[in-house]
Amino acid sequence: MIVSPNSNTAAIASALSLLTVRLDRLLRNHHTDSQISLVQRSALTTLIRDGAMSPGALANKEGVRPPSMTRVINALAELELIERRPHPSDGRQIVVSASRAGRSHLTDKFSTRDSWLAERLTKLSSEQTVLLRQALAIMSQIGEADSVSR
């Protein structure tokens, strides 16, 4: 679906939703040899980018319910990709952070999926690359707005 500059918001939303589903399907077809799922990778990336936080804060940032995040945290901890520490001011809570192994996992592994997508991106013109960077910032803003409103 091509969206013109004059398209209304509903048409843009529909096109973005469809393209997201299609891109997700293409990315899933390019398997990675990673030992972690995309959900786990996203949580680990958030911990590296934003620093240590409570499981509840991580769940909120990732836009998932706390029980789901608990499963993600348990899986990452079992792989020693994150560390759990007592919360500095609330003894009832913990704080999770990326471990050295977790940081290495993300920086050392350029997955098949990422390589496939990077290859496609090299075919874009410099103007398209600039536009894509701008679109990514906007899409991140949309995603962040949703997680904040939960």
| pLDDT tens digit at each of 150 positions of the chain | 566 666 788 888 888 889 888 888 887 777 665 678 888 988 999 999 999 999 999 999 998 999 999 999 999 999 999 999 998 888 788 999 999 999 988 776 556 777 888 899 999 999 999 999 999 999 888 877 555 444
- H or E stretch including 82? strand 82-86
Are 36 and 113 spatial neighbours (Cβ–Cβ below 8 Å)? Answer: no
Supply the pTM of this predicted model.
0.67
Report angle CA 134, 138, 144 to the nearest 5 degrees: 140
- Domain 34-108 classification at class level: mainly alpha
According to CATH, where is 1.10.10.10 located in the chain?
Answer: 34-108
Report pLDDT for 145.
Answer: 55
Are 104 and 48 spatial neighbours (Cβ–Cβ below 8 Å)? Answer: no
